[in-house]
Amino acid sequence: MDNTIIDQITKEASKPLEYISLETIVREVPLLTYETPLTYHLYINYNKNILTDEEIRKCMTTIKTLQERKTKINNKQAEYMDKNGCEPKVIDLAKVIETEE
């Protein structure tokens, strides 16, 4: 068995019943993933009276890292659109259907 899993189970066993894990948040809140900064904001908010300062700091660092990553991706996409144009393509559905028949 993986030691990481054992460590996590041991750590969570010592948490109060009100504790809500990241896994629970991702599983139960639609559209949230481990790559979504909001997941960690919710984790901090739900467990604000349970988490240590160190745990909160780690979550805040994760949030900042994920936001910076998203900003880089957005900047690259904007740069690509500036270079290659960003005119939306309009498709006439009636013509598409005619060609398929």
Query: For 21-76, what is each residue's pLDDT tens digit?
Result: 999 999 999 999 999 999 999 999 999 999 999 999 999 999 999 999 999 998 88
What is the number of domains present in the chain? 1
Residue with structure tokens 């909001």? 38
The reported pLDDT for the residue numbered 2 is 62
Which of the four pLDDT bands, split at 50, 70 and 90, describes residue 81?
confident
Encoding tokens for residue 49?
């009276």
Q: Which domain holds residue 86?
A: 3-100
In the predicted model, is pLDDT for residue 86 greater than 80? no
Residue 85 gets the label, from left (phi > 0), alpha (psi -120 to 50) or beta, of left
Phi, psi of 65 (to 5 degrees): -60, -45
